[in-house]
Structure 1
Amino acid sequence: MENKIFTLTIGIPAHNEENNIGRLLDSILRQKKTNYKLIKIVVICDGCKDNTAKIVKYYSKKYKFIELINDGKRMGKPKRMNSLYANNKSDIFMSVDADIVLEGQNILEDMVECFSDKKVALVGSNDKPISPNTFLGPMVVNWIKYWQYTFRSINNWVNPFNCTGRLIAMRNDFVNKLSVPISFAADDHFIFFKCQELGYKFKYCPSAIVYFKVPGNLSDFINQSVRFGKSGNKIRSYLGSWTDKYYHLSKKRKYLSYFKWLFYHPIKFPFALGLQFIVRLYSLFRKFDTPTGVWITAK
């Protein structure tokens, strides 16, 4: 029996990503396609004020399956993506952030292969941070790597930390049931828990490596960290306390991870912890919510 060839649609929400959108599209176009047929790539410009739309339009003239949506409005990622979810006809839909780059040529193949298990409806990628050329960058990278090292294996790898919105793949019957509340700008955790709530299976694909650049200044890092830190509480209030187990980390595991990371990174990690102290102090005194799903973007 021949292996199934899946149809695939890719959705890319973008806000002022002129510096990376071309690199992202190039990294998608060079992917091998042995187990899927790429139907279209839809890039949605969400209130772009730069040359993002112009760059995508150039690609769309060369590759007819690349489609640009540019209405000049700033609506936020959840509202933009919900329209694509509802109208998807492909077997697989992938949501791809515009500020990443795919490593190698087998990323999409590896993720699509996970759907050979008919119970799988959601697949997460392996996002790796890279540092901008700033003083703060290496410390931010160190903190993210510590966080990933500590939390990713929770619940046998089935947890929201492995479902990052930078690149996720979803089966169509799940996508068509998905509608993310517009206040969830950090939509990836909501998607993970909706998958669990509906009885579908999640799978983490460690070989699907994508790179993203971390915030290079303190203001952007604080905004991003507070958004991420508050997502668990928001999920709990919206979906219920059953979600808590997917965030739970034993004290033993937490402290072992902490001291091991400190041993291997005796200089960078203390600075990274200092940054987290600033973030937590800041979050105590500022209400951080986005009823429209539109976040302050990194500069």
Structure 2
Amino acid sequence: MLRCTVGVLAYNEEHNIRQILHALLNQQMTTSDMVEIVVVASGCTDQTVELAQVVASMFPIVKVVVQRERAGKAAAINLLISIAQGDVIVLAGADTLPDPIALEQLLRPFNDPTVGMVGAHVIPLNDPRRFLGFAVQMLWQVHHRMALRWPKLGELVAFRNVVQALPVQSATDEVALEALITAQNYRLVYVPDAVVYNYGPQTFSDFLLQRRRIYAGHLAIAASHGYVAASMPLKHVATLVRESLVRNHRWMLWLLATMLLEFWARILGYLDFTRGYEHHIWRPIKSTKQLQKSAQQLTLVGISISGSWIRRAELMHRLRRIPPAHGTLFWWDHKHKEVIFLIASDQLKPAALQERITMLAAYIGAAEITTPDSNVKYRVVEFSSPLMPLPPTVEQHAPLPYRQTWEASHA
């Protein structure tokens, strides 16, 4: 059985550290063995270390390693590599939440000995009804389509324990790992069924700061290792831009504004690179650190509709009709014909759950349920509050009757 070490890299993550550890401890794994979870806390000045140690005292599989000074993410990964016991090393950011079956899905490709590194499917929790939420969603959807063709891995990745060390000046650790892994003739694999949730930047300054650092890091890796990230070739960029214009023509203004922001960030990143500005110890992107409020339970509901197509234009148009108290739609999955909502935890009481799902299905039903053979299924992914020792759970529910959903759509 494949043995894996999971590394959680943290800098001042007191609001998220227990949440990510609970999510990792409750991963549903049957074909791989998680031998250790190592928290590398780098120069933390808040309660990250103390909170992680509390979890470690209850679960011996969790270890906490402290770097007194913050030396950059690459240095933290090198420390992790030096002590990892697993055949494969998984890197998880403290400000992310892996789906309960994410690691099981993520590690399966390693049954192929030619695979050296894999990456998960990132789903941001940003609200697409706001421009920056739309921009973040658009970039990750483009990333998803790109990775399906030309693997580019990030946020939650795993690699064989064959790398000695990363360049300590690297600002983009995943691309540096891609370069070192492919140099040993291993393949990269994108795993769309391994889902990890996060928050993208929620302010313009944070958006530009993050995007310019990434582009400067890509240029540095290309210069030092001769490895070109999948998002760099103009041919790839042109293909993805053309597809985005076709897919999202109803939001042309927001789409063009997103492209301009990305273009400006790349110019700034290019200037940083040519001027020798180093990003390996980067300024934290504060607006991405709000994964969950301390006393709130994070609950996601995925609604899938068989026998119909999810038409994104109609769906986005109907978002404004959904009261925030009922749920916030933040993702739609064409392959699985599923839309995913973020809802308040108190709506998951048994008596209210069925009613809430029916109401959400009703908002999208008139546009999405197009045939009498259609029915609605839903799944619930529940991440407990960091203050509560409850595990994340996944529940699969039977279909709602087509007629019931159809009638609710026209209430």
| TM, length-normalised to structure 1 | 0.85
Give the C-alpha shift of residue 13 in structure 1.
Answer: 1.1
SS at match of 1:265: helix
> 155, 160, 166: which one pairs with 1:171?
160
Matched, 1:137 2:132: yes
| Alpha-carbon separation, structure 1, partners of 2:136 and 2:231 | 24
Q: 1:134 to 1:62 in 2, by over 3 A?
A: farther
Give the C-alpha shift of residue 133 in structure 1.
Answer: 10
Larger Rg: 2
SS at match of 1:50: coil
Q: Deviations over 1:14-52 (max 9, x none)?
A: 011112111111111111121122211110111111121
1:84-95 equivalent positions in 2, closer than 5 A: 84-95=80-91
SS at match of 1:243: coil
Q: 1:223 to 1:262 in 2, by over 3 A?
A: same
Matched, 1:289 2:277: yes
| Alpha-carbon separation, structure 1, partners of 2:276 and 2:138 | 22
Q: 1:136 to 1:51 in 2, by over 3 A?
A: farther
Q: 1:133 to 1:62 in 2, by over 3 A?
A: farther
What does residue 7 of structure 2 align with?
11
SS at match of 1:294: coil
SS at match of 2:228: helix
Q: 1:52 to 1:244 in 2, by over 3 A?
A: closer
SS at match of 2:282: coil
What does residue 112 of structure 2 align with?
117
**Residue identity opposite 2:178 in structure 1:** F
Q: 1:262–1:270: 8 Å Cα contact kept in structure 2?
A: no
Q: 1:142–1:268: 8 Å Cα contact kept in structure 2?
A: no
Q: Deviations over 1:198-231 (max 9, x none)?
A: 1112211111100111111122111110011223
Matched, 1:30 2:7: no
Give the C-alpha shift of residue 71 in structure 1.
Answer: 3.9
| Alpha-carbon separation, structure 2, partners of 1:134 and 1:50 | 33
Give the C-alpha shift of residue 255 in structure 1.
Answer: 4.7
What does residue 285 of structure 2 align with?
298
| Alpha-carbon separation, structure 2, partners of 1:295 and 1:281 | 18
Count of residues paired in the alignment: 283
| Alpha-carbon separation, structure 2, partners of 1:122 and 1:223 | 27
Q: In structure 2, list runs of 5 or more residues that go unmatched.
A: 287-411
What does residue 224 of structure 2 align with?
238
| Alpha-carbon separation, structure 1, partners of 2:127 and 2:45 | 23
> 32, 37, 44: which one pairs with 1:41?
37
Q: 2:24–2:98: 8 Å Cα contact kept in structure 1?
A: yes
**Residue identity opposite 1:147 in structure 2:** V
Matched, 1:50 2:37: no
Q: 1:281 to 1:107 in 2, by over 3 A?
A: closer
Q: Deviations over 1:97-135 (max 9, x none)?
A: 1110011x2111112221111221211111122217995
What does residue 148 of structure 1 align with?
143
> 63, 66, 69: which one pairs with 1:70?
66
SS at match of 1:180: coil
Q: 1:31 to 1:7 in 2, by over 3 A?
A: same
What does residue 194 of structure 1 align with?
180
Could you say what the CA RMSD is over the residues aligned between the two structures, in angstroms?
A: 2.6
Q: In structure 1, list runs of 5 or more residues that go unmatched.
A: none
Higher relative contact order (CA 8 A, sep 6+): 1
Q: 2:215–2:269: 8 Å Cα contact kept in structure 1?
A: no
SS at match of 1:75: coil
SS at match of 1:38: strand
Q: Deviations over 1:53-80 (max 9, x none)?
A: 1211110111011111124311111111
**Residue identity opposite 1:253 in structure 2:** T
| Alpha-carbon separation, structure 1, partners of 2:238 and 2:104 | 37
**Residue identity opposite 1:243 in structure 2:** V
Q: Deviations over 1:143-175 (max 9, x none)?
A: 413532553234xx3x3x2x11x2111222x2x
| Alpha-carbon separation, structure 1, partners of 2:213 and 2:247 | 24
